[in-house]
């Protein structure tokens, strides 16, 4: 895979402002970080246990189904939703969604609320993808699964009752990374024309030098982000491959319109800004929404961080605009 030089400057934000009151309260509830980093299995179980704390009761949707798509490493579990208020016989626009979790944690359930909320707000279908996780499955396994999932959705439009000409991709954090990379891969292949890419605090450059002001006191620390990268893409050449670092692609021209959602107290903020700027520079329609006092992960924690609802509205507005 070809690569280009990445723009990964040291962070220059003079001030990062102050955490919102709900973010401060959220951090006050968090236990002290363990002296020894947890194993992936323990981290995954901790995420599962925190879901009732972070998320309200799951919203009702018009339909939910479980499917499996064939993938390069075996079947890929998928969860399909149709939003409330959609017609049963209507071929809906669809967003293929990739959950966050640093390519190491997260699953269909961790982002079930998010997918349901987007389906209802945008009056669309959503397909939630349970791609393979690291370190058991390192780069490019997650990317390969993401691309296979989008292709399966397009090929099975009749089964899903969706419009194959109205497919978008989206995701948060590592899922935003997969959505951005899948958009590039699909553009290059040419068979599927995406309508939009919804990138919520995406990881776009695995070589980025993180702001050490986020070394503690926030939901995702700079050290935590580096640990996720080590688990997924341990080799330098992997980190400079555009499938892992979309910023390294030679060209962003011809990509679908993008919404980039950023949180101010997030080591990924600066690379998200840089990616949005490069998309715009290369002729891609871009909207950036910023939540200065929020932290990484806020969009999937509505119970304690209610600006998640605003982020869902942002996603739905972008999807609706490009349907």
Q: Which of 99, 111, 296, 322 is catalytic?
A: 296
Q: How far apart are CA 293 and CA 49, in angstroms?
A: 26
What's phi and psi for 260, nearest 5 deg?
-120, 120
Q: How far apart are CA 139 and CA 238, in angstroms?
A: 7
Residue 245 annotated among the catalytic residues of the structure: no
Sequence-ordered list of residues with C-beta below 8 angstroms from that of 236, at least 6 positions apart, any chain: none
Q: From 122, 220, 236, 134, select the one nearest 172 (Cα to Cα).
A: 220
Instruction: Please name every residue paired with 127 in a beta bridge, in sequence order, or none if there are none.
Output: 80, 96
For residue 139, the Cα-to-chain-centroid distance in whole angstroms is 16
DSSP strand pairing (76-82 vs 63-69):
antiparallel
Q: How far apart are CA 201 and CA 97, in angstroms?
A: 14
Residue 60 annotated among the catalytic residues of the structure: no
| Separate counts of helices (H) and strands (E) for the chain | 10, 8
Q: Which of 6, 110, 168, 173 is catalytic?
A: 173
Measured between alpha carbons, how far is residue 156 from residues 126, 163, 305 in Å? 14, 10, 36
Structure tokens at 213: 């002001």
Q: Which of 266, 300, 314, 322 is catalytic?
A: 266
**How much helix, strand and coil, in percent to the nearest 5, is found in the chain?**
35, 20, 45
The DSSP code for 51 is H
Q: How far apart are CA 152 and CA 309, in angstroms?
A: 30
What's phi and psi for 282, nearest 5 deg?
-100, 15
For residue 47, the Cα-to-chain-centroid distance in whole angstroms is 16
Q: How far apart are CA 250 and CA 248, in angstroms?
A: 6
Is the separation of the CB atoms in 247 and 6 below 8 Å? Answer: yes
Residue 112 annotated among the catalytic residues of the structure: no
Q: Which residue numbers are catalytic?
A: 173, 266, 296
């Amino acid at each position: 895979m070809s690569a280009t030089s990445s723009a990964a400057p040291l962070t220059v934000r003079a001030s990062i402002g102050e955490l919102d009151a709900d973010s401060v309260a959220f951090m006050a509830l968090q236990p002290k970080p363990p002296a020894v980093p947890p194993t992936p299995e323990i981290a995954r179980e901790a995420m599962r246990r925190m879901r009732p704390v972070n998320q309200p009761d799951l919203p009702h949707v018009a339909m939910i189904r479980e499917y499996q798509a064939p993938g390069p490493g075996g079947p890929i579990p998928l969860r399909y939703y149709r939003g409330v208020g959609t017609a049963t016989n209507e071929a809906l626009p669809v967003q293929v969604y990739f959950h966050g979790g640093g390519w190491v944690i997260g699953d269909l359930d961790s982002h079930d609320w998010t997918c349901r909320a987007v389906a209802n707000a945008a009056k669309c279908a959503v397909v939630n993808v349970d791609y393979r996780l690291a370190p058991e499955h390192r780069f490019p396994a997650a990317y390969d699964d993401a691309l296979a999932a989008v292709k399966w959705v397009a090929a099975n439009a009749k089964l899903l009752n969706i419009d194959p000409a109205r497919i978008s991709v989206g995701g948060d954090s590592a899922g935003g990374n997969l959505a951005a990379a899948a958009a590039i891969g699909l553009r290059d292949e040419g068979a599927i024309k995406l309508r939009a890419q919804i990138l919520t605090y995406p990881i776009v450059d695995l070589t980025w030098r993180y702001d050490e002001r986020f070394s503690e006191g926030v939901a995702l620390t700079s050290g935590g982000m580096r640990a996720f990268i080590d688990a997924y893409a341990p080799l330098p050449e992997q980190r400079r491959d555009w499938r892992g670092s979309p910023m390294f692609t030679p060209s962003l021209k011809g990509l679908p319109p993008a919404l980039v959602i950023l949180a101010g107290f997030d080591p990924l903020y600066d690379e998200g800004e840089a990616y949005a700027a490069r998309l715009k520079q290369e002729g891609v329609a871009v909207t950036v929404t910023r939540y200065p006092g929020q932290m990484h992960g806020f969009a999937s924690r509505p119970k304690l961080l209610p600006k998640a609802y605003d982020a869902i509205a942002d996603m739905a507005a972008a999807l609706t605009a490009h349907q």
